[in-house]
Amino acid sequence: MKTVSNDASVTLVFISCFIALIVSQPTLAEESFGFEGQWCGHWDGIYKTCLTVSKQADGYEAFYEWEEQRGAALQKKMLKGTVINANTIDFERKVLVINLHDHNKATAVGLFKEFSRIAPMIRVTE
């Protein structure tokens, strides 16, 4: 049976602590992008959709609104968000990617059962 040297053990502990620190702390980029606000667009350029994103003590949530059919009343649902990286957040398979050059524009990707859809989004309120 091989044993791990003290140097290797220290290195592993250091790397583990460093990764935990990076994952648990919001980055400067994440804070400057600011996911909060109401983001609206159209799935595939047809169906209205909005994500109203707010920061909570335990992360992000979004009030999700969408059209099932053109001109129909909007469906509504609350979604829990998971930050993927500094400009990307996943709301239960509705992924919002903020534009790197214009923080008030984004692209939403909806990963639905039958199809995936995209929607250019604009932040209409902060």
Tell me what pLDDT residue 115 has: 95
* pLDDT confidence of residue 24: 41
Residue 10 has pLDDT above 60, yes or no: no
| pLDDT tens by residue, 32-69 | 579 999 999 999 999 999 999 999 999 999 999 999 99
Residue 109 identity (one-letter amino acid): V
Name the pTM for this structure.
Answer: 0.75
The answer, yes or no, to whether residue 13 has pLDDT greater than 70, is no
Minimal CA–CA distance to 72: which of 96, 43, 93, 51? 43
Ordered structural domains, the chain, with CATH: 29-125 (2.40.128.20)
